[in-house]
Amino acid sequence: MTGSAQTPAIELRGLVKRFGGKTVLDGMDLTAMAGDSVAVIGASGCGKSVSFKCALGLLPMDAGSVRFAGTPRDELPSSGSQALMRRSGVLFQGNALFDSLPIWENVAFALFHTGPMRRAEAYELAITKLAEVGLDERAANLYPPELSGGMQKRAAIARAVAADPEFLFFDEPTSGLDPVTAATIDRLIEDCVTRLRATTVTITHDLASVRKIANRVAMLHGGRIVWEGPVSELDRSGSAHVEQFVRGRTDGSSTGGPPP
Ligand SMILES: Nc1ncnc2c1ncn2[C@@H]1O[C@H](COP(=O)(O)OP(=O)(O)OP(=O)(O)O)[C@@H](O)[C@H]1O
Ligand SMILES: [Mg+2]
């Protein structure tokens, strides 16, 4: 990794994103230092997934800058976004597995992109990565629609971390899962963060998950980060938006509701 200890690993500055006349992001700033695990929280529809796609260059933005280890995304060697995708592991909301490929090949997909690899070698590696998330060889040879939601999520996480990325992006890794499976996924993410020492940004509605996997938390509201701080200060943030989010998650009411 390039950059000094003071250079943020991931830095979003003044992100603006509009769809037609509607402004979704209105000057969003977010900083993650190397090895940080930042949770981005906020009500449904506030622009969390959009910010994630803008950061990765999957959606064009109207203004702002994105830097990885101090380098503007567009100046990363060999065509910005592509190079970035090689150094990043991404879990999309809804998993985004290829339904026409068996699970092992979904995982191997990331490995093929890191350099030439024989199919047999990719298979073995994919099996190892899947075992790390608790999926056996039988599951590895099934197709995504044949797996339960929790198993698909595990497979998508295995794919995200397969190439030992420097940057990890998880969009709602535990949504729609029962509490036990969600806790397993949290442990997996925690393990990835510690083992790979990857700088991680996780978008989540799940307060239990925030407390387990993140060291810092950022609250998105009205297109901007309205509070940012260590996870230990989540319960004394002094931010009405954060308090509402925490209260909503704790007493079962909602500040926007989980996504489908
Ligand atoms: N491609 C698009 N075209 C037009 N509008 C879009 C597009 N993508 C997102 N939006 C709008 O941007 C807003 C933010 O969407 P986004 O998916 O980022 O919300 P979110 O915070 O991730 O919500 P959730 O928690 O439900 O996943 C929404 O109003 C959505 O309708
Ligand atoms: Mg979303």
Alpha-carbon distance 181 to 206, whole Å? 13
Alpha-carbon distance 145 to 241, whole Å? 38
Which domains, and CATH codes, for the chain?
10-96+166-251 (3.40.50.300)
Task: Quote the distance between the C-alpha of residue 155 and its chain's center.
Answer: 14
CB of residue 46 inside a 6 A radius of ligand 1: yes
CA of residue 190 to ligand 2 center, whole Å: 21
Q: Whose CA is nearest to atom 5 of ligand 1?
A: 19
Ligand nearest to the CA of 24: 1
Angle at 184 between CA 179 and CA 187, to 5 degrees: 125
CB of residue 176 inside a 6 A radius of ligand 1: no
Residue type at 107? V
Long-range Cβ contacts of 184-191 (<8 Å, 24+ apart):
184/134, 184/150, 185/150, 185/153, 185/154, 185/157, 185/209, 186/212, 186/213, 187/212, 188/132, 188/133, 188/154, 188/157, 189/157, 189/213
Q: Whose CA is nearest to atom 4 of ligand 1?
A: 19
CA of residue 232 to ligand 2 center, whole Å: 25
Tokens of 206: 């799940």
Tokens of 1: 């990794």
Per-residue pLDDT of the chain (260 residues; tens, 9 = 90+): 445 568 999 999 999 999 998 999 999 999 999 999 999 999 999 999 999 999 988 899 999 999 998 888 877 766 555 666 678 888 988 778 889 999 999 998 867 765 667 888 889 999 998 998 889 999 999 999 999 888 898 899 889 888 888 899 999 988 877 888 888 889 888 887 888 889 999 999 889 899 999 999 999 999 999 999 999 999 999 999 999 999 887 665 444 444 44
Tokens of 152: 């698909």
pTM comes to 0.88
3-state secondary structure of 25: strand
pLDDT at 5: 60
